[in-house]
A = this chain, B = another copy of it.
Amino acid sequence: MLKKVAICFALLISLFVPVAAQLPSTPYSPSLLLGAAWYPEQWPESRWEADLSLMEAAHIHFVRINEFAWSSLEPREGDYELDWLDRAVRAAERHHIAVVIGTPTAAPPAWLTSKYPETLRTMADGRKDGHGNRAQFNWSNPKYRELAAKIAARLAERFGNDANVIGWQIDNEYGNESYDAQTQAQFQQWLRGKYKTLENLNARWTTAYWSETYQDWAQIPIPVGSGNPGLLLQWKEFVSDTWRSYQRNQIDAIRAHADPRQKITTNMMGWFDAFDHYTVAQDLDFASWDNYVGTGHLDPVRTGATHDLTRGFLRRNFWVMETQPGVVNWSPNNNMLDKGEVRAMAWNDIGHGADAVEFWQWRSALNGQEQYHGVLLGADGTPVPVYDEVKQIGAEFEKAGPALDGTSVDSQVAILQDYESRWAINWQRHNSAFDPVDALVSYYASLRALARSVDIVADTAPLGRYKLVVAPALNLLTPEAAKNLEAYVRSGGHLVLTQRSALKDEDNSLYPQRQPGPLAELLGARVEQWYSLDKPVPIDGEWGAGENRIWAEQLSFSAPETRTLMRYGKSNGWLDGQPAAVTRSVGQGSITYIGAGLDGKTMKAAAKWMMREAGLNPIMSDLPDDIDLAIRSGNGKRVFIFTNYGVSPRTITLPSPMEDVLTGGTVSSVTLPQYGVAILR
């Protein structure tokens, strides 16, 4: 216990030195936390002790509880029963297990939606959602917000100063909007606030097209399916703002009572794009997400990018708030991860900046929709096979905690990610195979293999710390973001734009310049025409010879110092011999536009070229492809996490002897079997 207090003290003063905010901590917390989702309300209290003993034995440091317990907390309106929850918190405390409390608003009680049917959301087809699943509430409804604030306040009054409560999760996996008349009226009011006059709105959306012109704010619909791109975009912005105010409502209710030591988050869902996560994340103390593999196995690159995306929401360490004990229940084929893969996945989380990993769930309710989801305990209350692997993770977290204490991911390469651009492309893909996330990951994969650390941030984020910034498919570029990028280049940064970039403005309207719109002058070049491809097009140039699929942009340039990097070969006649990628030096910096899609080989060459142009050296460039390397640093430390994702054992020769954090000795090489992990400093 004393030792743990000491660790905690160190953590309190040192964690996240490079960043402002701090993650929650408790007397029981090591630097890396292992958690589980526990639902005491589903079981008789007599069972709690057995569960918590098994948790403690598995080195579980915290539980998240309560996020679906509203009907147990307030079985009748205004009749609050929080004693059982207190008893659960106390029982956990006795096992040195801290608690994150979820507000229970993702699943309102039956009495609530029966009495106030306006709190039920209206689905896109006009029907009301109903009781029996979850997320059936209307996120914009004032009555629902009133009731949500009340229950949140009650919880905070009771637990806001509880030493064993380390944080709060607001609601759960935001997602469902509502299409009712009241929401529509709010949307119209929101538009009025933004556009001031209908004339302005009509002009910026070009509503003269298809006679869409509005004569009255009340005529503006909520778009369902297709619609004016301006309307579609503003609806999403409204949805995002409304999630923010929905969340703010509860944060305010909690903060009125809670000790600042208790941190507030919500659990996001990776690339899910129902709202702008940057908008919603700004009011949180830290970000977290639910990391699940459906069918198949962990893709360390794509999942790694998702971690980096989440880390980018607030540009600091984050939590994995839910992850699977090997298997989920919502895929067409819910196969189990291989033995050892759950552990590798946990270290992948940590390597990308997670400070906590929580397994969902501890034990399945005997009934309810998720009976088949992965668990640590079987229906009979005894451990299932994966329990031991999770226990090993917990032990290792404790062992590696001091080494990783106060570290984070330090990157000189940023990839820009933009919800508006993804929406804009997904509404009008033009080629159904063009996936903006795939486009991003294709650049991410090659750059991370060289730089080992990559940030994924918004296009309005501060970019000064980066040597290289890549903006894949940044389709919608606001004037503000354009200024941010231009300033970055002019101050010596190296910016790479790619296909479909800077076509649209903040109203999802075409820029009245060719791509890259407001950056075309800086580039000294422009896109003459984009082409959705029905057959591959050869490309050739500085990055070797390759093949371009899906999409191609024909570039031309005017500035004499703009240089062609790649050209198209014989193709549809239009592209033949035309520039496919161009670059221009701007002072110490540069701006590059890649109009071609790059295959694996040319993408690797392009990444090398970008690194070199930006003055960056690849790190351990001779590692086998199977080996993933993540680096966390800070507090004067630099910790390497190696994982073998190949099927054969691999030996890694280190540049110099390092301390093996898990085994304790000093090594100059390590051999890893499949899913093997080594933590070296």
Contacts and interface: CB of A to CB of B under 8 A. Distances in A.
Given A72-B211, A227-B369, A339 B574 contact: yes
A133 interface: yes
Nearest to A126: B127
A219 to B, nearest CB: 4
B367 A507 contact: yes
Given A71-B208, A211-B71, A329 B367 contact: no
A124 to B, nearest CB: 11
Contact of A219 (B131, B212, B529): B131
A668 to B, nearest CB: 29
Contact of A572 (B68, B213, B336, B370): B336
Contact of A211 (B70, B213, B230, B332): B70
A216 interface: yes
Contacts of A572: 335-339
A531 interface: yes
A371 to B, nearest CB: 6
Contacts of A329: 428, 430
Given A75-B215, A227-B369, A230-B367, A107 B210 contact: yes
Given A42-B208, A335-B572, 16 more contacts: A42-B209, A71-B215, A107-B211, A133-B226, A206-B365, A228-B369, A229-B368, A334-B431, A336-B531, A339-B573, A340-B573, A366-B509, A378-B514, A379-B511, A380-B512, A385-B574
A126 to B, nearest CB: 6
A263 to B, nearest CB: 25
B125 A369 contact: no
A508 interface: yes
A215 B76 contact: yes
Interface string A501-539: 000000111111110000000000000110111100000
Contact of A68 (B132, B211, B337): B211
Interface string A15-49: 00000000000000000000000010110000000
A79 to B, nearest CB: 11
B210 A379 contact: no
A217 to B, nearest CB: 11
A371 B508 CA distance: 10
Contacts of A366: 206, 509-510, 512
Interface string A369-402: 1111000001111001110000000000000000
A483 to B, nearest CB: 21
Nearest to A225: B133
A391 B425 CA distance: 31
A333 B574 CA distance: 17
A109 interface: yes
Given A332-B432, A364-B510, A428-B372, A110 B215 contact: yes
Nearest to A133: B226
Interface of A: 39, 41-42, 68-72, 75-76, 104, 107-111, 114, 125-127, 130-134, 204-216, 218-219, 221, 223, 226-231, 295-297, 327, 329, 332-340, 364-372, 378-381, 384-386, 428, 430-433, 507-514, 528-529, 531-534, 554, 572-574
A337 B573 CA distance: 9
Contact of A532 (B229, B334, B340, B430): B334
A534 B333 contact: yes
28 contacts: A39-B209, A71-B208, A71-B211, A71-B212, A108-B211, A109-B211, A110-B212, A110-B214, A114-B219, A131-B221, A207-B367, A210-B369, A227-B369, A228-B368, A332-B431, A333-B433, A335-B532, A335-B534, A336-B529, A336-B531, A336-B532, A336-B572, A364-B510, A367-B508, A367-B510, A372-B428, A379-B514, A386-B529
Contact of A512 (B104, B215, B381, B574): B381
A327 B574 CA distance: 13
